């Protein structure tokens, strides 16, 4: 598939590069002739460069630490005052955008982002393209005034910074204003950074541009902690230039930050291009051709990897599907920096006393916070404006679609996360690396605690990777070195196995339920029961389900259903890796863990009177279930720990399909409509529809529905539910996107509208996995059916090599719809302003108050 893509794009590109001599190559070829310090070919790949600063509307950096940062800013070009008040830099929730995002984007090649800046009457495209060898890249910035406003004035600022330039005297970047040159080159910078080698940056104009203010190049040297603050530094420079000037001083030369500013009236085009010595420049033509070609090849490729089955085969879903995947991929960030950790391991953190949360809070308020040494992370991000950093709880869900599209990219991200693990096995649940990331988080939420866990969602992706490596599930994504080489596959699994095992051991060791001090049901297995640390009366942030109701007050004798289920899912993933590596003893150990987990899910957490799965606590000295219907009781099913024969499955199907409980016209509610906490309090995980768990529900139900054993009625009902839920969920996300131009963090169970954070193309993107699912004839799907009972026999999906590998069912369906889809239609989007909100701590504190 990637072969197709590359063949389509790159011949055009390369032909162009060679036939049109790069504009300034002749001028500079002497000064940047091949350097012995250039990285070896092996050091470069399609992954090296990318828009890996997703917190910016557009920002590029390589996956090489302490090198180069690049970004784009723009503002009104009317006058100085207006310029200073409309400067766009980081993605914000409320700066008058009517939507922004990637129309199509592939990490390996590039793509096109469109930003609808209504306030400035401008549509801005950032067309980013990489050369085939991954060494060079360029971004073409195309400004188009909105209809009826052709004389709109816009100032564009391209900025670039050298990291650690002051402390490492061998790095250099020198810029020059070239505005009077006849070559179309407006500015040039020559750089030399050991980890990158020598390179050249150029800003290329366009003869059709109506230039209001000639190019200005401003080179400065600022303290290291300021180089990511382009907006602040630029603003200071403009102010220090004085007068009523709208621009920085023309003062080019060497420095660790460089600004290239130009002001246009009407439409404009500008190209910013990076190249290494002795290679052709990706100039305007090359980018235009490459992007045009990618525009058509991308949709074809997408329809191969994520085919759309009825009713989503309609053309109107093509742009939707593209936008989902592109914005998930476009949220990939590369992060580097120190973080804040409380290593005090205060005795209160054992959380053994009855009022453990007040004691822990008090200990935390006195604890010494450590600033760690810098760490590096390649991660997808939940939302560019609101959560532009890594979250462990989200990442496993991000990787579900990514692994289908580009297995090697998913592996890189998985490994990057596993490499964060400390010797104990801990991975911080929220990765706030470096001052740039920290600037978006209120101080009281910056510290990470090594006794806190988070759902180990990476274990969701491991079995799927194995199924692709073994061929148990088909793979149609980009060519994978791990699939093409059994040796590489084996090296990979050997590398991740001990890390996964260490994290698993850490989880079991640090989140145990207490089996010595409190009564437990006699049939339960001691030691196999868990408790999230970090509870307060209203929150269990560490579980990921924040305000989902649990025992109140909290009790040190609690056992949490989802924590046990996550242990089961992790043990099952480890069992499969061990099996694949031929480590029979470990495989057997993990298999016994899975068995114990399954036993205790029923022994500890099943309440036969209320017919549901529950948390447990201690009340009046007795073992007591806390049963709150919602997502929680579904966890044994969602994490693949129940099969079609399980006696408790019918009760879960009833819970899901009951309109007075979880079943809504838009998807499964997080909390039952009949629960006393429904819609109350912060109302975060108390009714709203979350896409990640709904997607898991559809996939697991489909597996149940197609299993070979188990009561026919159960299988039929599971299929029916899966089919109906699929349709409702995709429609919900689609309709909201169609109306608002955004994907959302959650959706209302009463109106279906998107809520909380917008531009949330993190795990909401997992909905793409459902579009290709097919069900047998007669499945009445969608909102027209008022409940989800009834009989439909599902046809497909016979061969599931791994019972818990749910996504494996999808590729099996692809062939059916291949070829059914052709062409690209870009949906005409209507945009509207929408509410803002938050997640986790934004509930407590309005983050906007804390933003600089
Ligand atoms: C850029 O440099 C040219 C000389 O090469 C100069 O004429 C021009 O004024 C400079 N641009 C600005 C805006 O100062
Ligand atoms: C924290 O303290 C507990 C109890 O003293 C101890 O068992 C545990 O090993 C400590 N953890 C770390 C990471 O030092
Ligand atoms: C169980 O609770 C007792 C009594 O509070 C405490 O001493 C013990 O450390 C706890 N054990 C675990 C594993 O938390």
Please report the DSSP string for 824-843 in residue order.
--PPPP---------SGGGG
Is pLDDT at 836 greater than 80 in this prediction? Answer: no
Q: Which residue from 203, 105, 86, 240 is spatially nearest to 155, judged by alpha carbons? A: 86
Give the mean model confidence (pLDDT) for residues 23-45. Answer: 40
> Is there a contact between 48 and 67 (Cβ–Cβ < 8 Å)?
no
Residue 827 has a pLDDT of: 21
Residue 345 CB less than 6 A away from ligand 2: yes
Q: Are 716 and 798 in contact (CB under 8 A)?
A: no
pLDDT at 184: 86
Q: What is the pLDDT of residue 13?
A: 32
Residue 20 has pLDDT above 80, yes or no: no
CA of 508 from ligand 3 middle (Å) equals 15
Nearest ligand, measured from the Cα of 356 = 3
* Ligand 2 centroid distance, CA of 526 (Å): 22
Pairing of strands 268-275, 137-145: antiparallel
The burial of 141, by beta-carbon neighbours within 10 Å (0-12 exposed, 13-18 middle, 19 or more buried), is given as buried
Residues facing 448 on adjacent strands: 341
CB contact at 8 A, 386 and 840:
no
pLDDT digits (tens, 9 = 90+) for 618-660: 999 999 999 999 999 999 999 999 999 999 999 999 999 999 9
Which ligand has the nearest atom to the CA of 352? 3
**Residue 187 pLDDT level (bands cut at 50, 70, 90):** very high
User: Which of 334, 507, 559 is closest to 437 using CA atoms?
Assistant: 334
How many Å apart are CA 91 and CA 113, to the nearest integer?
A: 13
Residue 347: pLDDT over 80: yes
From the list 714, 707, 703, 700, the residue with the least C-alpha distance to 668 is 700
CA of 345 to the centre of ligand 2 (A): 6
Contact 699, 769 (CB under 8 A): yes
Residue 230 in this model has a pLDDT that exceeds 90:
yes
Fold (CATH) for 331-790? Glycosyltransferase (1.50.10)
Tell me the pLDDT band of 26, cut-offs 50, 70 and 90.
very low
CA angle, 372 then 378 then 379, to 5°: 105
**Residue 43: what pLDDT?**
61
The catalytically annotated residue of 745, 749, 842, 843 is 745
Q: Which of 372-376, 542-546, 688-692, 784-788 has the lowest mean pLDDT?
A: 784-788
pLDDT band of 374, cuts 50, 70, 90: very high
CB 9, CB 309: distance < 8 Å: no
**Is the pLDDT at 242 greater than 60, yes or no?**
yes
Tokens of 431: 């990765």
Closest atom of ligand 3 to 353 CA is: 5
Burial of residue 422 (number of CB atoms within 10 Å: 0-12, 13-18, 19+): middle
31 band by pLDDT with thresholds 50, 70 and 90: very low
Two tokens, residue 69: 């940062």
Residue 32: pLDDT over 80: no
Helix or strand or coil: residue 54?
A: coil
Burial class (CB in 10 A: 0-12, 13-18, 19+), 402: buried
Say which ligand is closest to the CA of 179: 1
Secondary structure (DSSP) of 72-101: EEEEE-S-HHHHHHS-B-B--SSSSEEEEE
**Which two structure tokens, joined as six digits, stand for 311?**
């009713």
Contact between residue 746 and residue 835 where contact means Cβ atoms under 8 Å apart: no
Distance CA 471, CA 799 (A): 12
- Higher pLDDT: 839 or 113? It is 113
Written as six digits, the tokens of 700 are 């697991």
Phi and psi at 166, nearest 5°, equal -75, -40
Half-sphere exposure (Cβ direction) of 314: Cα atoms closer than 13 Å:
8
Cα 759 from chain centre: 11
Q: Where are the domains of the chain?
A: 55-305, 331-790
Could you tell me the CATH superfamily of domain 55-305? Answer: Glycosyl hydrolase family 63, N-terminal domain (2.70.98.110)
Q: Is 347 exposed, middle or buried (0-12, 13-18, 19+ CB in 10 A)?
A: exposed
Beta-sheet pairing, 615-619 with 612-613: unpaired
Burial class of residue 437 in the structure, from the number of CB atoms within 10 Å of its CB (0-12 exposed, 13-18 middle, 19+ buried):
buried
733, 767 contact by CB (below 8 A): yes
In this structure, what token pair is assigned to residue 740? 């608002």
The CA distance from 324 to 332, in Å, is 13
For residue 811, what pLDDT is reported?
36
- pLDDT higher than 70, residue 36: no
pLDDT in tens, 422-462: 999 999 999 999 999 999 999 989 999 999 999 999 999 99
Tell me how far CA of residue 682 lies from CA of 184, 187, 626, 686, in angstroms: 56, 52, 20, 8
> What are 149's strand-pairing partners?
none
The answer to whether 356 touches 554, Cβ cutoff 8 Å, is yes
* % of the chain with per-residue pLDDT over 90: 81
Please tell me the distance from the alpha carbon of residue 383 to that of residue 742, in angstroms, as a whole number. Answer: 11
With a CB cutoff of 8 Å and minimum separation 6, the contacts of 807 are: 400, 403, 404, 464, 473, 699, 769
- In which band, very low, low, confident or very high, does the pLDDT at 179 lie, cut at 50, 70 and 90? confident
Give pLDDT, residue 807.
34
Average pLDDT of span 354-371: 97
206 lines ligand 2 (CB under 6 A): no
CA dihedral 398, 100, 694, 469 (to 10 degrees): -30
What's the CA-to-centroid distance between 77 and ligand 1, angstroms? 19
Contact (Cβ atoms closer than 8 angstroms) between residue 662 and residue 632: no
* 62 DSSP β-pair partners: 49
Helices 561-580 & 584-605 angle (0-180, nearest 10): 160
How many CA atoms within 13 Å lie on the side-chain side of 290?
A: 31
| Predicted confidence (pLDDT) at residue 140 exceeds the cutoff of 80 | yes
Q: Which region holds residue 621: left if phi is over 0, alpha if psi is between -120 and 50, else beta? A: left
Q: Which of 189, 173, 201, 178 is nearest to 60 (CA)?
A: 201
Question: Which residue bears the tokens 């993190």?
Answer: 762
Rg of the chain over Cα atoms, rounded to whole angstroms, equals 27
Average pLDDT in the 482-508 region?
97
Block residue for tokens 């987990």: 597
Cα 48 to Cα 636: distance, rounded to the nearest angstrom? 40
10 Å CB burial of residue 173 (0-12, 13-18, 19+) is buried
Is the pLDDT confidence value at 812 over 90? Answer: no
Q: Percentage helix, strand, coil, to 5, in the chain?
A: 35, 20, 45
Structure tokens at 828: 């005409």
Residue 401: band (very low, low, confident or very high) from pLDDT cuts 50, 70, 90: very high
DSSP 156-213: EEEEEEETTTTT-TT-EEEEEE-TT-TTSEEEEEEEEETTTEEEEEEEE--TT--EEE
Residue with tokens 């199924």: 467
Residue nearest to atom 10 of ligand 2 (CA): 345
Rounded distance between C-alpha atoms, residue 131 and residue 276, angstroms: 11
C-alpha count within 13 angstroms, C-beta hemisphere, residue 640:
25
Residue 256 in contact with residue 222, Cβ under 8 Å? yes
Rounded to the nearest angstrom, the distance between the alpha carbon of 354 and the centre of ligand 2 is 20
Angle 486-510/458-469 helices, nearest 10 degrees? 160
| Structure confidence by residue, pLDDT tens digits, 610-624 | 999 999 999 999 999
Q: How confident is the model at residue 788 (pLDDT cuts 50, 70, 90)?
A: very low
User: pLDDT tens digit string along 274-290?
Assistant: 999 999 999 999 999 99
Q: Which of 516, 527, 532, 560 to mutate to test the pocket of ligand 3 (most atoms within 8 A of CB)?
A: 516
Please give the pLDDT value at position 664: 98
- Lowest-pLDDT range of 74-88, 353-367, 671-685, 782-796: 782-796
Q: What angle do CA 308, 663, 751 make, to 5 degrees?
A: 75
Q: Is the CB of 177 under 6 A from ligand 1?
A: yes
pLDDT for 4-14, tens place per residue? 333 333 333 33
Beta-bridged to residue 185, according to DSSP, are 204
Say if ligand 2 is within 6 A of residue 424 CB.
yes
745 flagged as catalytic: yes
Residue 810, helix vs strand vs coil: helix
Q: How far is residue 787's CA from residue 657's CA, in Å, rounded to a whole number? A: 6
Task: Supply the mean pLDDT for the chain.
Answer: 87
Ligand nearest to the CA of 349: 2
Q: Are 320 and 39 in contact (CB under 8 A)?
A: no
CB 60 within 8 A of CB 54: no
Kindly report which listed range (63-77, 233-247, 392-406) carries the lowest average pLDDT score: 233-247
pTM, full prediction: 0.88
Residue 300 burial (10 A CB sphere; 0-12, 13-18, 19+): middle
847 pLDDT higher than 50:
no
Considering only CA atoms, which residue is closest to atom 9 of ligand 3? 352
Mutation to probe ligand 1, out of 177, 243, 260, 261 (largest number of atoms < 8 A from CB): 177
- As a whole number, mean pLDDT of residues 299-309 equals 96
Helical H segments across 606-711, by residue range: 635-638, 649-657, 691-705
Could you tell me what percent of the chain has a pLDDT over 70?
86
């Amino acid at each position: 598939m990637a072969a197709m893509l590359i063949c389509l794009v790159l011949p055009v590109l390369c032909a162009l590069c060679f036939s049109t001599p790069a504009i300034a190559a002749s001028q500079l070829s002497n000064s940047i002739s091949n350097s012995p310090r250039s990285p070896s070919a092996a050091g470069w790949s399609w992954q090296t460069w990318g828009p890996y600063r997703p917190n910016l509307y557009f920002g590029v950096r390589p996956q090489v630490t302490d090198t180069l940062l690049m970004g784009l800013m723009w503002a009104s070009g009317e006058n100085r005052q207006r310029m200073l008040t409309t400067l766009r830099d980081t993605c914000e929730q409320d700066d008058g955008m009517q939507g922004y995002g990637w129309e199509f984007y592939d990490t390996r090649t590039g793509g096109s982002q469109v930003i609808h800046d209504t306030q400035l009457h401008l549509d801005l495209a950032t067309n980013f393209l990489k050369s085939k060898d991954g060494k060079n890249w360029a971004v073409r910035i195309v400004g188009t005034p909105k209809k009826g406003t052709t004389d709109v004035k816009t100032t564009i600022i391209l900025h670039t910074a050298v990291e650690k330039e002051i402390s490492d005297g061998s790095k250099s970047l020198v810029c020059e204003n070239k505005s009077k040159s006849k070559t179309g080159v407006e500015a040039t910078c020559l750089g030399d950074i050991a980890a990158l080698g020598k390179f050249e940056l150029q800003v290329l104009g366009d003869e059709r541009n109506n230039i209001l203010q000639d190019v200005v190049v401003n080179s400065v040297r600022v303290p290291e902690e300021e180089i990511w603050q382009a907006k602040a530094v630029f603003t200071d420079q403009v102010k220090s230039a004085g007068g009523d000037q709208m621009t920085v001083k023309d003062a080019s030369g060497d420095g660790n930050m460089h600004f290239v500013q130009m002001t246009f009236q009407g439409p404009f085009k500008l190209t910013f291009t990076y190249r290494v010595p002795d290679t052709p420049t990706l100039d305007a033509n090359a980018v235009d051709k490459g992007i045009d070609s990618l525009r058509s090849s991308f949709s074809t490729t997408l329809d191969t990897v994520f085919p759309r089955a009825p009713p989503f085969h309609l053309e109107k879903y093509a742009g939707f599907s593209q936008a989902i995947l592109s914005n998930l991929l476009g949220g990939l960030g590369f992060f580097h920096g120190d973080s804040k950790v409380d290593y005090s391991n205060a005795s209160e953190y054992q959380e053994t006393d009855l009022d453990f949360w007040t004691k822990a809070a008090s200990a935390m308020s006195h604890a010494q916070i450590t600033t760690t040494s810098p760490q590096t992370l390649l991660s997808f991000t939940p939302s560019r404006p609101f959560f532009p950093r890594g979250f462990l709880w989200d990442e496993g869900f991000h990787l579900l679609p990514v692994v289908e599209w580009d297995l090697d990219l998913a592996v890189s991200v998985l490994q990057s996360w596993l490499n964060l693990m400390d010797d104990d096995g801990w991975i911080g649940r929220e990765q706030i690396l470096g001052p740039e990331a920290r600037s978006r988080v209120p101080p009281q939420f910056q510290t990470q605690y090594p006794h806190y866990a988070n759902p180990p969602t990476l274990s969701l992706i491991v079995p799927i990777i194995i199924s692709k490596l073994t061929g148990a599930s088909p793979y149609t994504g980009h060519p994978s070195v791990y699939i093409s080489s059994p040796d590489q596959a084996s090296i990979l699994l050997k590398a991740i196995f001990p890390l996964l095992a260490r994290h698993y051991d850490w989880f079991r060791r640090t989140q145990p339920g207490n089996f010595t001090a409190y009564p437990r049901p006699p049939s339960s297995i001691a030691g196999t029961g868990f408790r999230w640390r970090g509870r307060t009366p209203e929150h269990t942030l560490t579980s990921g389900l924040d305000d989902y109701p649990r025992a109140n007050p909290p009790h040190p004798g609690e056992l949490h259903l989802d924590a046990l289920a996550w242990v089961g899912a992790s043990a099952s993933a480890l069992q499969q890796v061990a099996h694949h590596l031929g480590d029979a003893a470990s495989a057997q150990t993990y298999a016994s863990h899975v068995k114990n987990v399954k036993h205790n899910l029923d022994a500890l957490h099943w309440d036969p009177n209320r017919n549901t799965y529950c948390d447990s606590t201690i009340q009046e000295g007795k073992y007591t279930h806390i049963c709150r219907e919602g997502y929680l009781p579904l966890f044994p099913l969602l994490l693949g720990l129940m099969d079609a024969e399980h006696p408790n499955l019918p009760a879960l199907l009833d819970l899901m399909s009951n309109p007075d409980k979880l079943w809504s016209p838009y998807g499964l509610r997080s909390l039952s409509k009949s629960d006393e906490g429904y819609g109350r309090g912060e109302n975060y995980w108390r009714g709203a529809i979350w896409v990640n768990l709904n997607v898991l529900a559809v996939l697991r139900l489909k597996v149940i529905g197609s299993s070979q054993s188990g009561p026919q009625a159960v299988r039929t009902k599971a299929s029916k539910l899966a089919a109906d839920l699929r349709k409702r969920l995709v429609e919900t996300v689609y309709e909201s996107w169609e109306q608002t131009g955004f994907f959302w963090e959650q959706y209302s169970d009463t109106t279906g509208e998107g809520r909380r954070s917008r531009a949330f193309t993190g795990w909401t993107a997992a909905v793409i996995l459902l579009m290709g699912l097919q069900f047998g004839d007669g499945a009445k799907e969608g909102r027209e059916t008022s409940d989800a009972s009834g009989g439909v026999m599902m046809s497909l999906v016979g061969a599931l090599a791994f019972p818990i590998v749910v996504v494996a069912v999808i590729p099996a369906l692809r062939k059916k719809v291949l070829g059914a889809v052709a062409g690209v239609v870009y949906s005409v989007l209507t945009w509207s302003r929408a509410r803002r909100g938050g997640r986790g701590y934004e509930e407590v504190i309005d983050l906007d108050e804390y933003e600089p």
